[in-house]
């Protein structure tokens, strides 16, 4: 992906799922759509817009910053949660304003007392770096962080941890499992990230694309 000809394709990595759908609507609104991508039954992972010399690929969200850091993608669209957790050498250039949610410490109401007492606490999460930074750096408390890969809300219910650090969007997963938000870590939304070398080599095209995206979300 590093040919430097005039005809080089810009490559955009999209985090699979809701963010990718919204991102593609946005790209379509600025004339960078990809008809093929609308076929929901397709298992295809790479889509090309020949006219605009741009291609999109669908990756697992947490892998998007990796593709961008290594230059396999020039640009990535990914949640701020992933940007923070992956902590890669990439530029974060634009808040797209959709995919809004919050990173929170959640648990049963009874766990509030442990948080307030500042006693060591057990925390389950898909986001160990974010959790560690929050408990150790922001709150200056001790926490045992347990990494899980999904269905995090289970953890305090079955006694694996006192609390969880997880994304809260509508709050319905918490409500339906008898848990609540105990503390808020940060607000999150979808971001545009760029490979630092691409930013130099393809500056004009990338800046023009970012400017079009900015105007479209205004």
189 part of the interface to ligand PRP, by CB under 6 A: no
182 part of the interface to ligand PRP, by CB under 6 A: no
What's the Rg (C-alpha) of the chain? 20
User: 53 and 8 in contact (C-beta within 8 Å)?
Assistant: yes
Q: CA distances (Å), 120 to each of 104, 105, 139, 140, in order? A: 18, 14, 12, 11
Nearer to ligand PRP, 4 or 170 (CB): 170
Q: How far is the CB of 175 from ligand PRP (least distance, A)?
A: 8
Contact residues for 213 (Cβ-Cβ < 8 A; gap 6+) = 26, 27, 30, 94, 96, 192
179 part of the interface to ligand PRP, by CB under 6 A: no
187 part of the interface to ligand PRP, by CB under 6 A: no
* Residue from the set 66, 171, 177, 212 that interacts with ligand PRP by CB under 6 A: 171
User: 182 and 107 in contact (C-beta within 8 Å)?
Assistant: yes
> Tokens for 185?
């870590």
Stretch near ligand PRP under the rule CB under 6 A, chosen from 20-28, 39-47, 72-80, 144-152: 144-152
Query: Which residue's Cβ lies closest to ligand PRP?
Result: 150
124 part of the interface to ligand PRP, by CB under 6 A: no
Binding site for ligand PRP (CB under 6 A): 150-153, 166-173
């Amino acid at each position: 992906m590093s040919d430097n000809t005039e005809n080089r394709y810009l490559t955009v990595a999209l985090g699979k799922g809701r963010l990718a759908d919204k991102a593609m609507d946005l790209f379509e609104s600025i004339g960078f759509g990809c008809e093929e991508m609308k076929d929901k039954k397709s298992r295809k992972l790479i889509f090309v817009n020949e006219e605009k010399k741009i291609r999109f690929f669908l990756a697992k969200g947490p892998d998007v910053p990796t593709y961008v850091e290594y230059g396999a993608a020039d640009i990535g669209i990914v949640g701020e949660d992933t940007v923070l957790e992956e902590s890669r050498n990439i530029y974060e250039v634009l808040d797209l304003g959709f995919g809004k949610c919050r990173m929170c410490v959640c648990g049963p109401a009874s766990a509030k007392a442990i948080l307030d007492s500042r006693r060591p606490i057990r925390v389950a999460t898909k986001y160990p770096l974010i959790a560690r930074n929050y408990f150790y750096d922001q709150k200056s408390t001790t926490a045992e962080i347990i990494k899980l890969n999904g269905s995090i809300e289970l953890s305090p219910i079955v006694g694996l941890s006192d609390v969880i650090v997880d994304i809260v969007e509508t709050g319905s997963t918490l409500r339906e499992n008898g848990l609540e938000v105990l503390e808020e870590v940060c607000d999150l939304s979808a971001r545009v990230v760029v490979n630092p070398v691409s930013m130099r080599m393809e500056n004009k095209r990338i800046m023009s694309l970012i400017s079009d995206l900015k105007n479209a979300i205004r």
